[in-house]
Chains A and B, each alone.
Chain A
Amino acid sequence: MRSVLSRRRFLTGCVGLGAGLLTGCSRWPLSDPAEPRVVVVGGGFAGATVAKYLKILDGGIRVTLVEAQSRYTTCPASNWLFAGMGDMERLSVDYQALRSRYGVEVVADTATALDLSRKRVQLQSGGAQAYDRLVLAPGIDFRWDVIAGYDAAAAERFPHAWKAGPQTLTLLRQVQAMPAGGVVLIAVPADPYRCPPGPYERASMMAFWLKQHKPRAKILILDAKRSFSKQALFEAGWAKHYGYGTPNSLIEWHSLADNPLLELHADSKILASEFGDRFTGDVLNIIPPQTAGSIARRSGLADAGGWCPVRPATAQSTFDEFVHVIGDAANYAPIPKSAFAANSEAKACAFAVVSLLREQPLAEAHWLNTCYSLVTPEHGISVAGVYKPDTGNTINSVSGAGGVSVGNNAEAERAEAEYAQIVYRNLVADSFA
Chain B
Amino acid sequence: MRRLRGIVCALALFPVPAVRGDLSAQAIAMNCLNCHASGQAAVSRLPELGRISTAELEQALLAFKYDRRNATLMPRLAKAYSDAELAAVAAYLGRH
Contact = CB atoms under 8 A, between A and B. Distances in A.
Q: Are A and B bound to each other?
A: yes
A89 to B, nearest CB: 16
Interface stretch (A104-112, A199-207, A254-262, A416-424): A416-424
A360 B70 CA distance: 40
A401 B77 contact: yes
Contacts of A360: 15-16
- State which size class the interface on B falls in: 35 or more
B37 A13 contact: no
A382 B35 CA distance: 14
Contact of B27 (A15, A363, A407): A363
Interface string A60-100: 00000000000000000000000000000000000001000
B24 to A, nearest CB: 5
Interface in A325-346: 340, 343-344
Contact of B34 (A351, A406, A426): A426
B45 A422 contact: yes
A358 interface: yes
B13 A348 contact: no
A388 B23 CA distance: 15
- State which size class the interface on A falls in: 35 or more
A13 B72 CA distance: 34
Given A25-B13, A382-B73, A384-B73, A16 B38 contact: no
B12 A59 contact: yes
B43 to A, nearest CB: 9
A402 B76 CA distance: 5
Contact of B10 (A17, A348, A423): A17
A427 B34 contact: yes
Contacts of A24: 13
Contacts of B36: 426
B72 A415 contact: yes
Contact of A426 (B16, B20, B44, B72): B44
Interface of A: 9, 12-13, 15-17, 21, 24-25, 28, 53, 56-59, 97, 101, 340, 343-344, 347-348, 351, 354, 358, 360-361, 363-368, 370, 382, 384, 386, 398, 400-403, 405-407, 412, 415-416, 418-419, 422-423, 425-427, 429-430, 433
8 contacts: A13-B13, A16-B10, A17-B10, A21-B13, A97-B39, A347-B27, A351-B27, A430-B38
Which 7 residue pairs are nearest across A and B when measured between Cβ atoms?
Answer: A429-B38, A386-B80, A401-B80, A16-B6, A16-B9, A429-B40, A398-B80
